[in-house]
Chains A and B, each alone.
Chain A
C-alpha cells in the first residue's frame, strides 16, 4: 500500500483513488472502507463508484461538483476513515455440485496435484474467498485466497461455451462463470444459483469486498432448492465474516 494515496485524473468525469500497486487484502479492505464512506456521505454529483483490485474509480458530474471540491472532499473523507465503523464483510454460501458432468475437469485437477477428487472438493470448500472485484462479464467475481494445493494451469485449448454457474480453477485462482461464455478454466463444479439475473430485484448476487464460500450439495439437495432458484425466491445463506480470523487456506 502506498504511504500516500494517489488521486489520478481519469478523464473529465472520473477520478481514480489508487491505494497501491499490488493485489492485497489490506488494500481491498481500504477500498471497501472508502466505498462505504463515500456512499454514506452521499456526495452530490458523485455518480458511480467502481472498486477494483487496488483502486477506486469515482465517476462524477462536473456540472454538479467541481473537481477541486470533489478532491478535497475525498481527501478529507480518507483522513477520517479510521473513525468509520465498518460492517463486517458478508460471507455468501454458494451451493455447488462437484465433479461428473458438472465439473468435467475435477480429475485433471486432482491428478495434477496428486490428490483425490474428495480432497480437491474438501480443499475448495474450506476456503473463504475474497471478492476483489466484479468484471469480465456481468457479475463475474475475481476471487482471492485459493489454496495453492489445488492450483492447476488453464486448459490448453479453451472451450467455446461454458455454462453460466460453472465453477473453475485457472492457475491459483478460482471463479464462477456468471453467464454462458467461452473460457479456458478447469471446470470442477457448477452452481445452480444465478450470479446474474437481469429480471431479479438485485440483478447481481455478489459485491466486491464480501467473501464467498462454496458448499458441496448433492443431486437431492439440488432438486430440493431448484424450484425456489427458478422462481427467484432462493436466498443464498449469508452471514458476517468472523473478524480477525484471517483467510483459511
Chain B
C-alpha cells in the first residue's frame, strides 16, 4: 500500500474541544456566512438562501472534517481579509480568488493549519466567482429557522443578517477530531472546471408551452451573456430574444433553484439561492442540480449555452456526482495517521518544531 508523507507543524493544543475565533479586517465585496439553506419555510415566503455553489461548499466541509451542513464563508469576486485569533484548520474551495496567508499563496482544495496571528488575504480573481472558506468545527452563529444562512434582503440569519465587515469577530465551533488529524486533506478537483463559457444542462420548465417553437429553438441555440445584474437572487442574461406565445406573465407559482424565467422582454433570468419563493413569469427550463455550481461560478461577461436533457439523465448525473463526493469523503475520513515522528529543526538559526505524519492512503 502506498504511503503519503504529510508535514504538519506541531499544534499547541492537541485535544478536541478547542474553540476558535476569527476577526475580519477587510470586508471583501460580499462576504457571507452560508450553509445549505433554510428548508421548510418557502411556504411562508422565506427564501431558502444558503450557498450558491453547493459542490464547493460540501467539499470544503469534508476537507476540514466537518459535517456537510456546517456554515462556511462564501466570498464573491473580491475576498475578505481574515485574521485567526486561535489555531485552527481551514480549507478553501470554489473559484480561485488567489488566497494567501501572511502574503504567501496557499493551495486550494486542501485543509491547512493556521496559527494565531495568521492573516488570510485574497489577491486577484483567477477562475470562477465565489470561494468557500470552511473552518474545522464550523462557524458558530445562531440558527434562525433551522439555518445559519444569511439572507441579506430580509436581514435574516448569518452574522446579524448582513454581509461581514471589518471588525467583525466570529466564533468557530468545536472540531470533532484533534486538529492534527484534519490537516493535509486534499483532493484533486476535476468534477468542475470554471470556464468562461458554461454549458448548462436543463430540463424543460413548467411553462415550456408558453413559448413558440421559434422561441424554444432560440433558447437552445443561442449563447447568452451574464450581465452585471447578477447576484445571489438571480442572473440576468442577454442575447437573442425568446419569443412567447402570449406574453411572459403567469399566475404566480413556486420557483425552484435554477429556474429560468423569461419575462415579457424575452431575456432569461436564472433564479438562484436568494430567489423569492414565488414568481409570476414563465419558466422555459430549469438548470439541473449538478450544473448549478457552474452557474454559481459564472460572472458578468461569461457566456452560457443551454442543453436539454431528460429528467432521467439529470437524476443519473446527480447520482454520479454524489458517488464521487462520497468517495472523496471516504478518502478524507479513512485517512489515518500510522506513525508520527517529531523533529526539532534549526534553519538559518531559527528553531522549528516539525512533526511528520505517515498516513495510510
Interface residues of A (CB under 8 A from B): 8-14, 16, 18, 21-23, 47-57, 59, 62-63, 66-67, 133-140, 178-179, 198, 203-204, 206-208
Contact = CB atoms under 8 A, between A and B. Distances in A.
B256 A13 contact: yes
A181 to B, nearest CB: 9
Contact of B251 (A23, A47, A203): A23
B164 interface: no
B43 A208 contact: yes
B39 interface: yes
B339 to A, nearest CB: 38
A21 B251 CA distance: 7
Given A10-B283, A57-B254, A62-B315, A135 B276 contact: yes
Contacts of B288: 11-12
15 contacts: A11-B203, A11-B205, A13-B256, A14-B256, A18-B253, A21-B251, A53-B253, A56-B254, A57-B254, A57-B256, A63-B322, A140-B45, A204-B41, A206-B44, A208-B43
A2 to B, nearest CB: 13
B278 interface: yes
Nearest to A55: B253
Contacts of A203: 41, 44, 46, 144-145
B256 A11 contact: yes
Given A11-B287, A18-B253, A55-B253, A50 B259 contact: no
Contacts of B257: 11, 13
A103 to B, nearest CB: 23
A52 B278 contact: yes
B281 to A, nearest CB: 13
Nearest to B290: A12
Nearest to A67: B311
Contact of A135 (B39, B45, B311, B312): B45
A139 B43 CA distance: 9
Contacts of B251: 21-23, 52-54
Nearest to A54: B251
A171 to B, nearest CB: 15
Given A18-B206, A134-B44, A138-B154, A50 B277 contact: yes
Consensus secondary structure, chain B interface: mixed
Given A10-B206, A56-B254, A134-B43, 11 more contacts: A11-B259, A12-B311, A12-B315, A22-B251, A47-B39, A53-B251, A63-B318, A133-B252, A137-B154, A138-B46, A140-B45
B287 A54 contact: no
A48 B40 contact: yes
B89 interface: no
A198 to B, nearest CB: 5
B289 interface: yes
A56 B254 CA distance: 8
Interface in B202-244: 203-206
A110 to B, nearest CB: 30
Given A62-B318, A139-B45, A203-B145, A10 B205 contact: yes
Given A48-B43, A139-B44, A204-B41, A14 B254 contact: yes
B278 A50 contact: yes
Contacts of B256: 10-11, 13-14, 57, 59
A12 B45 contact: no
B154 A179 contact: yes
A67 B253 CA distance: 20
Contact of A66 (B40, B254, B315): B315
Please indicate which of the listed interface residues A9, A137, A178 has the most CB atoms of chain B within 10 Å of its own CB.
A9
A71 B254 CA distance: 18
B234 to A, nearest CB: 14
A65 to B, nearest CB: 10
Nearest to B257: A11
Given A10-B259, A11-B203, A59-B256, A49 B311 contact: no
B43 A51 contact: yes
B85 interface: no
A55 B278 CA distance: 11
Contacts of A136: 45, 276
A204 B156 CA distance: 13
Contacts of B319: 63
Given A16-B253, A135-B277, A204 B44 contact: yes
A8 B154 CA distance: 30
